Amino acid sequence: MIAEQLDGTRIAITGSTGFVGTALVERLLRSVPGCSLVLLIRGGKRGAPERARREIFKNDAFDRLKEELRETAEPFDAMLERRVITVNGDVSTDGLGLSEADRAIFASCDVIIHSAAAVAFDSPLDTAVEINLLGPTRVAQTLNDMNVTPHLVAVSTCYVAGNRRGNAPEELVSEGPFDLGLNWRKEVAAARRLRSDTEAASRLPEQLREFRSDARKELGAAGAPALASKTEHIREKWCTDQLVEAGRARAASIGWPDAYAYTKALGEQALMETKGNVPVSIVRPSIIESALAEPRPGWIRGFRMAEPVIISYARGLLTQFPGVPEGTVDVIPVDIVVAAIIAVAAMGPEHAPRITQVASGGINPLKYKTLVDNVRTWFTEHPLYDAEGQPIVVPEWQFPARGKVQQQLKRAKTVVTRTERALQALPLRGTQATWAAKLEERKHDIERAYEYVQLYGLYTECEAIYQVDNLMKVWDSLPATDQAAFNCDPRSVDWPKYVTTIHLPSVVAHARVKSTPGKNRNDRADRLRRNVLSPERHVAAFDLENTLISSNVVESFSFLATRRLNMPERMRYVLRTLAQAPGLSSMDRKDRADFLRYFYRRYEDAPVAQIDEDSKDLLTQLIITKSFPAGMRRVREHRALGHRTVLITGALDFAVAGLKPLFDEIVAAEMTVRPDGTYSGELAKVPPTGETRAQVLADYCKAEGFLLEECVAYADSTSDLPLLECVGFPVAVNPETRLAAIARKRGWLVEEWEKAPGGPRPLLPIGTMLSERERKRTFVGSAPRSRF
């Protein structure tokens, strides 16, 4: 019996944080009580034990085991302490990165189950090579170096057979009729060289300029550090995309669907060539999906291959998908795979087959059309709902060629991209800006659908039939008690029942999609707002323009500059300013600090006393009338909660002096004053814009003993992105288009504040005209562009 055969054994598992690995750990702990486990985990900053606790043992897969342990005297944590050892290791590193102490633990194991893999079908080529191709070889080499020979059970995939049609037997590809004679060592060298070449190409001047341009298009005038960070992110993604495409192209050129299957096939070849004295058994699952029964029906960890396609169809994003209607979709529940792995391990190297395929297509096939019909029927009876609470009607599924679907998605993406660019060029804010944000989401949906067709289309078109003769020999050798406890028979799956009563309900539950009617309540926004207004917060930092008031520095200047002009002079000023508006707006978008320096030169020769006097009316007649009452209330709410309130603005200090009662600290732009009592038009220091705002808040928090992660920041533009990113609770207020998209993507709180209804709505921001006597007392500046 399996439990008795593995009693007293020490079993090492790689890849225990993954889907199959987690299920393996749970099943062995629950169903083989006499074994102990060694989990080889890439620990990272937290270390292997903490990562195991967070990523493995907190998973709901262990709920059943915890429930069973409640009937005993041993708590779950105590059982883990007694039976599980975690070691820091990495299969992408020679020697597995083991310390001397961990090598001794690894050497003491009786069985090694190697399930670690880069399972994404779109992994970069070099990553897939290092993990999938070289990982099993490194495990065997480490064991040979330690002169130990435990039973190595390597988990591979049925798709090592490639894009063949017809029967795919349980044999090594290198020993079958389709062997291409590839040299795996040359493939490794080429992949490593390609990484180096790609990195070098990404640093060419013309390429870097393109990355910088793309970063600016996305972030606007977000400041040098933010743009630099985004540029590097785009560069790294470009490298990854190049290596993903290289893997896809190389795999296709030699008959595999993707880099995953290609590197797994060469990994088997490399392992069998280099295993030395280590006995090896290979287990090849097909497409692994949610559990049939163990640890509970429908258990799944993360989205597998089918789930993104199914959910996209249910949401109306995919109306067709390539595939052969009468073809076989070879899926297998994860608990059947785990039972087969454990059974092979229990048989030992003397009796276990060299290769065991765990698949359904050769013995209990699920036809693609059968799957599609069951999915459509289920979502017709249990529809998902859109944001308005209306049911999404799933379309009649079509089975076109892969190329046709890709062309349709490309055209749709082109239309959406052009529309998005047009909207981004418009000065949209708040609700209007969310249109563009939603459009960007739609573009991402189309891009995801295109990726699904690229990644999974070959699998739905696959016509290989994976034979399971060795699996059935394993099954037939098990006594009835083991067959009940470790079901590895694909014939036990009733596909319509599994799809409609087990798999689809689980997929919907994990997808976090709307499955009930009625409009979305804004629970998420309320939750975020409660977090923002928690007494635990330390500081609330506010931008001014378009965040607390619907005004800007141009309007403030216009108010002050026209107070003492007669009507003809006012009209000339208005016409001149309107003509300059496009240029000023363009400069502002490029660099806020440079714009302020340029624009504030218009204050040259302005008398300080006159500006101070007129600023009082500026506060009452412009700033207060254009303020957002909800914004002012929010400032008061923060103060009532004991939070420090800080205003950080590029506006000039005299323009915001009247707001001091609302704030504990105001940081604003300042101009130098000449000895004759006039402003020079030059700033005294760097204006608080872009990354400077983040530094101002960081310095304030450091001086006052506050934590940035407990601070709140309110702003409206991507130029404020450094400020928003440096705090724990960012809030986008009436965001412009780019910031609306970023806030939506990152899950930030978005507030839409409006001016008070019924207030004055002047067509032009010009000051109230003074009497002729008052105008005569004004100082006439030397510059023709303004008069103070």
| Tens digit of each residue's pLDDT (9 = 90 or more) over 281-320 | 999 999 999 999 999 999 998 766 667 778 877 887 777 6
Rounded distance between C-alpha atoms, residue 601 and residue 733, angstroms: 29
Name the helix (H) or strand (E) containing 232: helix 224-253
Question: What pairs with residue 331 in β-bridges?
Answer: 287
pTM of the model: 0.78
Question: What pairs with residue 627 in β-bridges?
Answer: 549
* Alpha-helix runs per DSSP H in 305-430: 306-314, 334-351, 368-381, 402-424
Tally the residues of the chain. Answer: 788
Angle between helix 259-274 and helix 134-145 axes, rounded to 10 deg: 20
Residue for token pair 């000051």: 767
Task: Tell me which amino acid residue 127 is.
Answer: T
Residue 780's pLDDT is: 35
Give the residue among 79, 153, 165, 85 at the shortest CA–CA distance from 116.
153
* Alpha-helix runs per DSSP H in 425-536: 431-460, 469-477, 480-485, 495-497, 504-511, 523-532
Task: Tell me which amino acid residue 191 is.
Answer: A
Residue 426's pLDDT is: 57
Rounded distance between C-alpha atoms, residue 680 and residue 671, angstroms: 7
Q: In this structure, are residues 712 and 540 in contact, taking their beta carbons and an 8 Å threshold? A: yes
Extents of the domains making up the chain? 300-325+364-465+478-520, 528-759
Q: List C-alpha distances in Å: 766 to 573, 613, 615, 780.
A: 10, 16, 13, 18
Q: In this structure, are residues 25 and 37 in contact, taking their beta carbons and an 8 Å threshold? A: yes
Question: What pairs with residue 732 in β-bridges?
Answer: 715, 750
Return the half-sphere exposure (C-beta side, CA atoms, 13 A cut-off) of residue 235: 22
Burial annotation 685-697 (CB, 10 A radius, 16+ → b, else e): eebbbbbbbbbbb
Collapsed DSSP state (helix, strand, coil) of residue 110: coil
- Residues in CB range of 202: below 8 A, 6 or more apart: 208, 211, 235, 238, 239, 242
Cα angle, residue 578 at apex, residues 575 and 582 outer, rounded to 5°: 150
Residue for token pair 């949401």: 315
* Percent helix / strand / coil, the chain, rounded to 5: 55, 15, 35
DSSP state of 713: E
Residue 421's pLDDT is: 62
Cα angle, residue 83 at apex, residues 78 and 87 outer, rounded to 5°: 110
* Pairing between β-strand 287-289 and β-strand 331-333 as defined by DSSP bridges: parallel
Rounded distance between C-alpha atoms, residue 24 and residue 41, angstroms: 14
- The first and second tokens of residue 41, run together, are 């985990």
Low-confidence ranges of the chain (pLDDT < 70): 46, 121, 174, 176-178, 180, 303-306, 320-323, 398-410, 412-413, 415-461, 518-523, 758-788
Residue 138's pLDDT is: 96
- Residues in CB range of 363: below 8 A, 6 or more apart: 468, 472, 490, 491
- The first and second tokens of residue 587, run together, are 């400069």
DSSP state of 545: B
Render 581-614 in DSSP notation, one character per residue.
HHHHHHHHHH-HHHHHHHHHGGGTT-BHHHHHHH
Question: What pairs with residue 166 in β-bridges?
Answer: 464
Give the residue among 468, 508, 504 at the shortest CA–CA distance from 488.
468
Give the residue among 735, 734, 715, 740 at the shortest CA–CA distance from 647.
715
Sign of the CA dihedral 161, 165, 170, 174? negative
DSSP state of 783: S
Portion of the chain with pLDDT greater than 70, in percent: 85
Rounded distance between C-alpha atoms, residue 19 and residue 663, angstroms: 52
| Chain segment 582-610, per-residue pLDDT in tens | 887 777 777 788 888 888 998 998 999 98
| Chain segment 194-219, per-residue pLDDT in tens | 999 999 999 999 999 999 998 888 78
Residue 783's pLDDT is: 39
Residue for token pair 């298009």: 217
Q: In this structure, are residues 146 and 106 in contact, taking their beta carbons and an 8 Å threshold? A: yes
CB-neighbour burial class of residue 759 (10 A; exposed 0-12, middle 13-18, buried 19+) = exposed
Residue for token pair 């992949």: 191
Q: List C-alpha distances in Å: 698 to 228, 229, 650, 711, 748.
A: 20, 19, 17, 10, 20
Collapsed DSSP state (helix, strand, coil) of residue 165: strand
Q: In this structure, are residues 211 and 230 in contact, taking their beta carbons and an 8 Å threshold? A: no
Question: What pairs with residue 367 in β-bridges?
Answer: 328
Render 45-78 in DSSP notation, one character per residue.
TT-HHHHHHHHTTTSGGGHHHHHHHTTSS--HHH
Residue 238's φ and ψ, nearest 5 degrees, are -60, -45
Residue 299's pLDDT is: 94
Which CATH code for domain 528-759?
Answer: 3.40.50.1000
User: Residue 764 CB: number of other CB atoms within 10 A?
Assistant: 13
- The first and second tokens of residue 170, run together, are 């349980």
User: Residue 642 CB: number of other CB atoms within 10 A?
Assistant: 9
